[in-house]
Structure 1
Amino acid sequence: MIDDAPAVAAQALEAAQAGARVLVLRNTVSAAIATQQALEAAAPNSRLLFRCADSPLAYPDLRVLEATWRLIEARDGWTLPAMNRELVEGATHPEVLAALATDLGDAWAGHAARMDGLRYAQQAVAALGCINTAEPYCAAGFPEGETIATRLGARDRSVAFADPPPSLFAPHIPLDTLTIPHWMAQGIPEDAQPILRAIPPAGPPTGPPGTLTSSGPTVRFALGERGYIYDRLGLRPETE
């Protein structure tokens, strides 16, 4: 059952409909997305799903959600934005999150370790690309032939749109480029370029390889012989 996203979603939804507060943990991004999609398909307008801006979503650091929930329950009401700082600091401060993980036991401590490890890894990767602004730019040499990669031996693919569609999260900002992770971009010809092409919202993606289609909050495009979907769940192969 663990690999059957619809079955996992159905069991979680059944428990939630019976009054339980359900948390579904998946150990891969693809499994999390598949389960989220299965839940939304089974209960498209259900208020049982966690939401942000009226859209159901998955949140990476569950400690923040639990801390926020506890803060909300501790008061009869909150006045925003006057109490924003108290709410944000009380739900995101490292000491608060550490104490919460300790209080909730081993499973939460493991989750905290994964979140902290991810943060440290991201900081280390970012540090590799830092430039010392205190010295002249011409003195900040960069080794020839070197690139900054997120994984050893891997190089992400940056796709530039000739006629950018609007950003999914800020429609007034054009989506000029999109980064495709190395593992999604292997085997695609270096000269493959996407071409923007609008389609009717109700229609399926059409067009030859190399065609990008944008409709509403979802962008679908093909690069070479491979298709992708980019929406609020992130970027993923279209075959998923």
Structure 2
Amino acid sequence: MKRVPLITENHRNVALLRLASDNPLNPLTDDLVDALGDALGRIDADDAVHATVITGSDKAFAAGADIAAMSVLNYADAFQSDYVGRNWDCIRAHRKPLVAAVQGYALGGGCELAMMCDIVICADDATFGQPEVKLGIVPGAGGTQRLPRAVGKSLAMQMCLTGVSISAQQALASGLVSGVVACERLVAEALDIAGSIARHSLPVLMAIKEAVGRSFESSLGDGLLFERRLFHSGFALHDQKEGMAAFLQKRAPEFLNK
């Protein structure tokens, strides 16, 4: 039986997905991305899981795509198979909150995978980069699109055009990550963040993720209207009634996720 290059753990309402290739650099092979997509599909269908942490090895979150596999492709192969899009799009389509916990290298596809998550925290040894230019190719999973939105045009251009990486502290200063912690605290911190998310109403969490995502896809006016309609629709939820009643009664809410 083929080994699945992904380790899954359950922590109450939080799933922990650990990229676990035989190679500690976690190259993002089709097998690994397929396994990640399958796991996220199961999580989307599991009402008991409200948030997910994705992490890698001590050496690398993921140090890029599968260069050996890419090196033999021609245009027809890449286009007809929708290489990268075929199995990466299911990560983008995941509807529940994703927290990336990055230690070591997050390069190329690894940096792009981290940026597909909703919150990124990293260890103090983390390195982020888009070195595809050194391979004679353009980033293919969001490096030229998500990175400018995260860090601004100038730094994104510098990273993509030179292939030079940035440190954890540079990633924090530029807004690529929301926090930097010691290596030994990384996963625990990510689980704490995911746990603080997961205690809330699942349909509300999903709506918030959708609304923030929409802010990158629309004008401000369209985004504000979308947000307001979600706000209005929230008054149909049991959890809205419970949340507001609990606030007025000065007690903890008991959400039923409906």
Shared fold (TM-score, shorter chain, > 0.5) = no
* TM-score, normalised with respect to structure 1: 0.21
* TM-score, normalised with respect to structure 2: 0.20
Per residue, is there more helix in 1 or in 2?
2
Which protein has the larger Cα radius of gyration, Structure 1 or Structure 2? 1
Q: Does 1 or 2 have the higher relative contact order (CA < 8 Å, sep 6+)? A: 2
